[in-house]
Amino acid sequence: MALNDIPVILTHYKLMITEAPCVKMRELDGGQLVPVIDRHTNEEQFVVVLFAKPRPMEGRRKAKGEEIRVNLPRDPGEGFEEGDYIELINPVINTYEMRGDDGKITASGLWFKADGLTPAARIVSVPAA
């Protein structure tokens, strides 16, 4: 059983683009790559690769982070390049499982999806008076 569109709060993570948004592709049986098209909107879907690193928290050991791929329903627009810090709009996670011909689960995991991207809010420190 797959769980779908579980809202996720990522405010405790810094999200940096490691691969700029691009059209999501899938491989046909013959090896040909074709764009993934949304069946409802007929728009090309996009994917962005992010490095998600936990923000430092007092009393906790510094965490390493993880690279994640995030599916987007459309082109997020200009201005999202490698190295940029972003926030996800309405991020959710989904679960999946794949089964072999015998019905046994051969793979399972999570995948991320969001409605779009926005530049991360910059935190500006103000010197004490």
> Collapsing DSSP states into helix, strand and coil, what is residue 101?
coil
With a cut of 80, say whether residue 127 has pLDDT above it.
no
This prediction's pTM: 0.83
> Collapsing DSSP states into helix, strand and coil, what is residue 113?
strand
Domain parsing of the chain, residue ranges: 6-119
- The CATH fold assigned to 6-119 is OB fold (Dihydrolipoamide Acetyltransferase, E2P) (2.40.50)
In angstroms, the CA 90 to CA 99 distance is: 30
Lowest mean pLDDT among 15-19, 23-27, 109-113, 125-129: 125-129
Residue 13 has a pLDDT of: 93
Q: What is the DSSP string of 45-99?
A: PEEEEEEEEEPP-TTSPPP--EEEEEEESS---S---TT-EEEEES-EEEEEEEE
Q: Is the dihedral of CA 98, 106, 24, 120 positive or negative?
A: positive
At 55-104, the pLDDT tens digits run 887 777 778 899 999 999 999 999 999 999 999 999 999 998 999 999 99
Please, which pLDDT band fits residue 123 given cuts at 50, 70 and 90? Answer: low
In angstroms, the CA 98 to CA 107 distance is: 5
Residue 60 has a pLDDT of: 78
